[in-house]
């Protein structure tokens, strides 16, 4: 579209210049009138180009700001794992969990402080029993992070859907302002995709929350990573790819 405006502006400007020169040379006022109209047309095309450029620049700025915000949230999530010294220490914390006080009040899911402990546990158990596990990170699309009430309501809908959809052997935690993660036991890639799509589909059709869409990233042990930290990094990278491609998407981590 911008190219057509540019061509139109250049053509109208050229016609205006040519007619203006001919009008002066031949002393024909008609050429001057037409030259003026052509010049006006060129100005209209030029204004359209300027408006379109401004809109594109503004949209690009919004996308860059959203990407930076999202990258900071993923970095914060990764930092949760950075605070875990060793798998043995993480596993030692598990028996002391008070599940009644560990729940996030808005989402109904486990608080993010327990996420690293659970992932370490599940990866260690999967390694012992030679079973796969999957991590799915969800991020609710299009929310203003400064509107805490709206974020909590949306997380409540997502959390309720995850609780109803996941198995008792699975675990789910709130891991950010608009993010939640599921740890799926004895689940390979196909099963993780099925679970994630079921959660996303339920949010699409459930009464009262039909405006909520989520993007998701999936990573599986041992297909995509062999350690807890790397597993969450891969799931986060897959989610980042999904968000970069648009809303309401699901992406799977890539293998080395």
What are the pLDDT digits (tens) for 116-162?
889 999 999 999 999 999 999 999 998 877 788 888 888 999 999 99
pTM above 0.75, yes or no: no
Within-domain flag for 245: yes
**Residue 199 forms part of a structural domain:** yes
Cα 67 off chain centre by: 8
Structurally, the chain folds into a number of domains equal to 2
Beta bridge partners of 181: 137, 173
Q: Which residues contact 60 (CB under 8 A, 6 or more apart)?
A: none
Residue 44 and residue 119: Cα distance in Å, rounded?
60
Looking at the domain assignment, is residue 156 inside a domain? yes
Same domain for 196 and 92: yes
Looking at residue 247, the DSSP 8-state letter turns out to be S
pLDDT classification of 1: cutoffs 50, 70, 90: low
77 belongs to a structural domain: no
**Residue 47: inside a domain:** yes
Residues 159, 180 contacting (CB under 8 angstroms) = yes
User: 98 or 92: which carries more pLDDT confidence?
Assistant: 98
Question: Do 185 and 230 sit in the same domain of this protein?
Answer: yes
CATH assignment at residue 160: 3.30.70.270
Q: Do 34 and 90 belong together in one domain?
A: no
Mean pLDDT, the chain, as a whole number?
A: 74
Q: Is residue 69 part of a domain?
A: no
Please report whether residue 161 resides in a domain: yes
206 in the same domain as 163: yes
User: Per the domain annotation, does 139 fall within a domain?
Assistant: yes
State whether 241 and 127 are in the same domain.
Answer: yes
Domain extent, residue 105, equals 83-252
């Amino acid at each position: 579209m911008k190219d057509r405006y540019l061509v139109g502006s250049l053509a109208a400007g050229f016609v205006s210049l040519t007619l203006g020169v001919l009008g002066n040379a031949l002393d024909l006022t008609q050429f001057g009138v037409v030259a003026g109209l052509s010049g006006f047309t060129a100005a209209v095309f030029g204004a359209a180009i300027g408006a379109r450029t401004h809109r594109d620049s503004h949209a690009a700025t919004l996308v860059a700001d959203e990407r930076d915000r999202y990258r900071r949230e993923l970095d914060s999530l990764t930092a949760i794992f950075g605070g875990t010294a060793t798998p043995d220490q993480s596993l030692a914390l598990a028996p002391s969990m008070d599940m009644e006080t560990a729940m996030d009040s808005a989402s109904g899911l486990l608080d993010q402080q327990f996420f690293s402990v659970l992932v370490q546990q599940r990866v260690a158990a999967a390694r012992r029993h030679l079973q796969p596990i999957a991590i799915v990170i969800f991020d609710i699309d299009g929310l203003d992070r400064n509107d805490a009430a709206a974020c909590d309501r949306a997380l409540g809908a997502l959390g309720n859907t995850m609780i109803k959809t996941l198995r008792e052997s699975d675990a789910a935690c709130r891991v950010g302002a608009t993010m939640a993660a599921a740890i799926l036991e004895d689940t390979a890639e196909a099963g993780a995709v099925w679970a994630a799509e079921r959660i996303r589909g339920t949010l699409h059709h459930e009464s009262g929350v039909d405006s909520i869409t989520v993007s998701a990233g999936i990573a599986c042990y041992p297909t995509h990573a062999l350690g807890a930290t790397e597993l969450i990094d891969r799931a986060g990278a897959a989610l980042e790819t999904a968000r970069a491609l648009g809303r309401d998407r699901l992406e799977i981590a890539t293998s080395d």
